[in-house]
Structure 1
């Protein structure tokens, strides 16, 4: 993971991924409003390497997680963040391999592409097992994420992974025991989809 420095917060600039809205509605006779965002749907994949009995994850810096780690009283509307007081490591997460649905392709095709780009494994589409779909970010976006499971072997690794273009992603491996220890912590720097995928794996594929 590259060293992160000079973090500056600014008001929202033009975005091709986020579109903010305010919804007005009447519920039980009362008028209400709710701010929301529209974002792309996504896929996430639980990857298990059967050659060495390890789960494959990605680690990356998430600006929103970093910003959320700063106490409210120290958050500035804009300006440079004191990274000595709030180290960038606070924004580094462990996640399932995942990606947005921004192409008119079957979800399995997009999942296959993400596995190759982020983790370096070339997985046949027929080896992807669909786990299910669920709402993500219900308070702000309500986007749909679809989870898959696949098993890989060392000989299926054809690239280093790490993402494409401006992505900076580290591929990490954890044994089942290491994953169990990780999710038993009081503070887990991973999204709910990670927890869902791991618990699904432990319940359905542990043996």
Structure 2
């Protein structure tokens, strides 16, 4: 699926190509760009004006929802569990590197294949419910990866902010150990989500954070893997 990619991204993803990923396959046959609707469910852009050292400044920001992320480790098989899915923002970001302006209308999928937007990520979700962060993370583990875990089985690792230049959502990173007996479904997401579950060995995970490597995942993927290798991997071996 990712064989067209060159360089580090191909090295990152080829290790899981030997085994079929769990969950539905993403089959994208058309991509097109259009103006942002007047009211978005997910983001709220605005202008922030302020005085700094008696100089008036203006910056444009986007309000986003907070999120939870989980470093998920299956101790039955000594594997780290990730998810893979199409991310339109990643696709747009990679496409814009090759052409400066956001296109209008349909994209040439032969020239810009949908696989450009396929990411490797930690299990994650948005804080859009009136529940504790642990309960929301627990739901995401069940929905995306199929493991039913207790909320008190999650260890909070970090809380930080992402996208501080244009948006600033609070992120809570958790760690959770699971076993095969806790697997109650194939996962894959809910509603319209198309998510594949990917398991990597610890050696494969180490390849993700090797100096000079490249990945289509966000910084939380790299931070989560490095934290695990530093704090948990010796104990799990």
Coarse TM-score class (shorter-chain normalised): over 0.9
Task: Report deviation, 1:74.
Answer: 5.5
Aligned partner of 1:55 among 60, 65, 80: 80
Q: Is the 8 A contact 1:41 1:145 kept in 2?
A: yes
Q: Give the aligned partner of residue 230 of structure 2.
A: 203
Aligned-residue offset at 1:187: 2.0
1:20 aligns with 45
Ranges in structure 2 where 5+ consecutive residues have no aligned partner:
1-24
1:8-67 CA distance string (max 9 Å, x none):
000112311110001011222222111111111010000000000000000000000001
CA gap 1:74/1:23 in 2 versus in 1, 3 angstroms? closer
TM-score by length of 1: 0.96
| Cα deviation digits, residues 137-180 of structure 1 (max 9, x gap) | 11121110001101000010001100000111000000110011
- What is the number of residues matched between the two proteins? 207
Q: Please name the residue that 1:9 is paired with.
A: 33
Q: Give, in angstroms, the shift of residue 123 of structure 1.
A: 0.6
Runs (4+) of structure 1 exceeding 3 A deviation are: 74-77
Out of 99, 111, 118, which is 2:144 matched to?
118
Give TM-score, length-normalised by structure 2: 0.84
Q: Cα RMSD between the aligned structures?
A: 1.2
Distance (Å, rounded) in 2 between the aligned partners of 1:130 and 1:182: 22
Match of 1:97 in 2: 123
3-12 or 69-78, larger mean C-alpha shift:
69-78
Matched, 1:192 2:192: no
CA contact (8 A) 1:11 1:77 kept: no
Q: Which runs of 5+ in 1 are unaligned?
A: none
Q: 2:68 aligns with which of 15, 39, 43?
A: 43
